[in-house]
Amino acid sequence: MKRNNFIERSLVGTLVFLKESVFSDDYAARRAFLQGLDPRCKLAAILMLLLAVMFSRNIYFLAGMYALCLLLAVSSSIRLGFFLKRTWVFIPLFSLFIAVPAIFEVFTPGQAVARLQLFGLSLTITRQGLASAGFFFIRVLTSVSLCVLLVLTTRHYALLKALRFFKIPQVFVMTAGMCYRYIYLFIEIIENTYLAIKSRVGTVPSTKKGQMVVAWNIGGLWQRSYTLHNQVYSAMVSRGYTGEPRDMNEFSAAGIDFLWLGTAFLILGLSLWQTYYLN
Amino acid sequence: MADVLFKLKNVHFSYLGRIPALCGVDLTVAKGSRIAVIGANGSGKSTLLQMLDGLIFPDQGTIRAFGTELKESVFCDEDFSANFRKRVGLVFQNPDVQLFCPTVKEDILFGPLQLELERKKIEERFAYLVEALSIQGLLERPPHQLSIGEKRKVAIASVLIMDPEVLILDEPTAGLDPLTTRHIIDLLCDPSSEKTLITSTHDLHIVEEISDVVYVFGQDKRIVASGEPEKILKDEDLLRQNNLVHIHRHRHEDKTHAHPHLHIEHHG
């Protein structure tokens, strides 16, 4: 019974997480620093900052970049607790697990700083190992933070339209936008189907049955998505779509946007200068 | 003859080559006419409307629009295709199918931008429709967050903005509350408009208002009757045979009785 509840909780939890994380534009709608920037300039600046993080080999520089992310989050009216939860869950934790072996002498020989006895094995932690693991971790954390900032403070359609400015093919941008829109519809279908099954059969009596219900749901959804795909295409053709979608460009950049772009450019320059000239 | 926009002759169509949807349909649509297509679920109404919009083509028989026989090949001609799409607009039954853009505003503007209509004209039509449909507050919202009534209004706006000569509507009032239905019908039945209106509906309340001619589709996927709305709506047997009659059940003290509800009784 508990395992069956696990299926239900997983299904409901996944849907709630998707709705809250992917479709919520609460932060993007606020009036604050990053939200007020032109999406094209914001995207270009974030890309430059990401490059700066990727090229840098200085841990203090990376720590500074992470501090900048936190500062940007606060100045963009993003609750710090929410931001840390979004950035620390999954990717940085995952990368930490990847980086952990690197702290041991087996993988990174160097100056010993501590010894551990684990399952009868004697493991030595090296200073060089700690440095490379920390370096890897903070680089991932900062990169993820920058991406989360971009996504949280930009309405998804503005972000997609900004991609067009960088010559990403319109078909790709439009397909991404439609995926976003229809994932929501499919989530609703899954929720309603699950509720309909529950209302008819009550609590699913066994895990095996529960798995079967999930499988039916997936099968049904696949069929619906196939039908929907044909209908949506017809609706597009009906309104004159011939394969190359056209849209309106309504962006406008102001002085603050160029200032922000220039700052990001300077930071990238600083990173490159540190990496290739100073060292 | 010059006023005929569409002419269908013995049109047959089936899905996947084995599920019949239209079985010998003959229909003529004159310029400026207002046609209602009524019939039970699965009688072929939506298929007919999609065929009139040049989205599907007959397996047998012919369909002519604006003097040209509609075939898949004629839509390969970009000029014909663009011209046809400018002249004919279809509002789909399911607004979720029609609203695929990230925001309501982009969805409304999708059609005229694809058809490269004049910017000034697009802006004027856009402003008019936003006002007429009272959707100012929806423009920056994603369509998936709207109610069914709001979605339907936006879907209608997304077609009306192209100002098509022929407006095809597939169950435009399905699932709407009475007041929203009223609002949409008022907008569509603008007396000053010279548009040709082809509407499929189950809602017999609106048939008289939206049409001069009614075609009734039977379960055998063909037209079983046609005529003026008054005549069709009075034919109780015809409506009953085609699952279109509304049966109302009442309770009078300790007795319950049922009777059909006709939609033109108040004219009697």
CB distance B102–A245 less than 8 Å?
A: no
Helices A39-55 and A156-165 pack at an angle, to 10 degrees, of 80
Q: 3-state SS of B80-130?
A: HHHHHHHHEEEECCCHHHHCCCCCHHHHHHHHHHHCCCCHHHHHHHHHHHH
Is residue B72's pLDDT more than 80? yes
Spatial contact of B261 and B234, defined as CB atoms under 8 Å apart: no
CB distance A237–B106 less than 8 Å?
A: no
Q: Among all chains, which residue has been given the structure tokens 């087996």?
A: A106
Q: Among all chains, which residue has been given the structure tokens 């005929």?
A: B4
Q: Among all chains, which residue has been given the structure tokens 């004919």?
A: B88
Q: Among all chains, which residue has been given the structure tokens 């930071």?
A: A267
- Give the whole-angstrom CA distance, residue A249 versus residue A256: 20
In a domain, A222, yes or no: yes
Band of pLDDT at residue B100, cut at 50, 70 and 90:
confident
Question: Which candidate in A26, A180, A181 is best for mutational testing of the B interface (most B CBs within 10 A)?
Answer: A181
What does the pLDDT look like over B167-206, one tens digit per residue? 999 999 887 888 888 888 888 887 777 899 999 998 888 8
Domain range enclosing A232 = 1-25+156-240
DSSP assignment of B197-231 equals EEEE-S-HHHHHHH-SEEEEE-TTSSEEEEE-HHH
Mean pLDDT per segment of 10 residues, for chain A of length 279 residues? Answer: 60 68 72 90 94 91 94 93 84 75 81 80 84 87 93 83 80 76 76 75 66 76 79 90 73 87 95 84
Instruction: At A212, list the tokens.
Output: 């079967």
Q: Which fold has domain B4-267?
A: Rossmann fold (3.40.50)
Q: Does B111 touch chain A (CB under 8 A)?
A: yes
Q: Does B90 touch chain A (CB under 8 A)?
A: yes
In a domain, A13, yes or no: yes
Q: Does B115 touch chain A (CB under 8 A)?
A: yes
- Give the whole-angstrom CA distance, residue A15 versus residue A190: 9
In a domain, A7, yes or no: yes
When pLDDT is averaged across residues B131-158 and rounded to a whole number, the result is: 89
Q: Residue A175, SS3?
A: helix
In a domain, A105, yes or no: no
Residue percentage of chain B with pLDDT more than 70 = 94
Q: Residue B62, SS3?
A: strand
Question: Which candidate in B110, B116, B147 is best for mutational testing of the A interface (most A CBs within 10 A)?
Answer: B110
Residue with more model confidence, A22 or B214 = B214
* Side-chain-side CA neighbours of residue A270 (13 Å): 15
Calculate how close chain A gets to B205, using CA atoms only, in Å.
28
Instruction: At A149, list the tokens.
Output: 């900032």
Calculate how close chain B gets to A235, using CA atoms only, in Å.
5
Gyration radius of chain A over CA positions: 24
Dihedral pair phi/psi, residue B226, rounded to 5°: -150, 155
Which residues of A lie closer than 8 Å to B, measured between beta carbons?
Answer: 23, 155-157, 160, 177-178, 180-182, 184-185, 228, 231-232, 234-242, 245-248
Calculate how close chain B gets to A50, using CA atoms only, in Å.
27
When pLDDT is averaged across residues B215-238 and rounded to a whole number, the result is: 92
Given this model, what pLDDT does residue A1 score? 45
What does the pLDDT look like over B246-258, one tens digit per residue? 776 777 777 777 6
Given this model, what pLDDT does residue A24 score? 63
Q: How many domains does chain A have?
A: 1
In a domain, A182, yes or no: yes
Q: Is the ipTM of this complex over 0.85?
A: no
